[in-house]
Structure 1
Amino acid sequence: MNIYIMSSNIYLRYGVVALAKLKGWKTIAYDLNNFHVEELTCDDMVILHVDVKNSYYARAISSINKKSKLLVLLEGTRDIVIGDADNVIKSRESLSSIIEAINFTIKKEKKYRTTSSMLSDIENIILNESLKGSSINLIANALNLSPKKVYAYRTRACKKLGGKKINDLLLIREKLLEDSCPRLPSRSKAEQPGCNL
């Protein structure tokens, strides 16, 4: 088993290495740009530090979690939803909390689950269209639902992913949009609003 720490913050990276060394764990520091995800095994563990400055790290969450155990350290005060990680804590937690999170993640049995399998088809469509910028009314018209029903489905999807509202999901937007999901039904030109024949 290998433990990898990836962060654009060099102090955090080497701090976690030093902390792990005290516990007898061999931890290797990497920057995500120099890391080869395909070399991971299911016994390995990755500690990934995600903040607003390195939000592109969030895009790697899904691919890393498919190959190994994943602990995400979140920076900042705003909660960011990470649906695919095995464990998520804030990077400003105490050292004992970080050690506890590492211990928990190491011992965790790997269960593979994709975001799309957590959501129903309708929730998947509504969430993905919302993240693409489609309005509630546009989604409601395309799905032949009331806007209130679309809001309800979107809220339920956000809660399943650990968020309270759609804004909580914006950081991992690219990952959510990559998941294959059904699309909104296309409308013929005659059905589109404002189109006269």
Structure 2
Amino acid sequence: MNHVSNRGRTVPLRLPVVRAAIHWTPGSAAAPAGRRGGRAEPAGPADVDTSALLLDPAGRLRSERDVVGPTLPAHPSGQVRRLPKRHHREGVMDAVEVRLDGLEPEVAAVVLAVSSDGAPFGGSGSLQLTLWDVEGDAPVAVLPLAPTSAADTALVCGELHRTPGGWEFRGARRGYQGGLAELTSAHSAPAGRPAAPP
């Protein structure tokens, strides 16, 4: 198993199906003022959601249906889907599953991201991305996550990239203060570019 701690480090994936699982600990209520220098500690988000954005070779979404997340639990192709959220003693796990060998040739990359319910990640517990080999039922890579700023409400955790030799995972970390909407907008086609046909 690879511990991917550096942004940009790659892990080759010779797997037909991978699962990207986000583990996190729900934030506690704000601490009373005076506990930390006279200021209350911010409460973390009550919930987080994992999303997958399917990008074309230009790094853009072909349509809104290429965003698998809270409002679209499965891609129309059936190759990317969200799994039911699981609560356990250590916290919560939310995951997306990607069939790499079945993705359309037009899909050049899959961005893995997590977004909060509006409260910044700055007050939440630890976040961690674990990439799983589904058929082998074993972890492939582990990436500890940290927001880029205390105001982030969406965070890119990593990316799956198609290469001439197959797929690979790249560690990545980009924060957005506007949540999933801002993240999606950042990967949408610029004004004037025709949308992908349905």
TM-score of the superposed pair, with normalisation by structure 1: 0.23
Ranked by relative contact order (alpha carbons within 8 Å, sequence separation 6 or more), the top structure is 2
Larger radius of gyration: 1
TM-score (norm 2): 0.23
In terms of fraction of residues, the more strand-rich structure is 2
Q: Which has the higher helix share?
A: 1
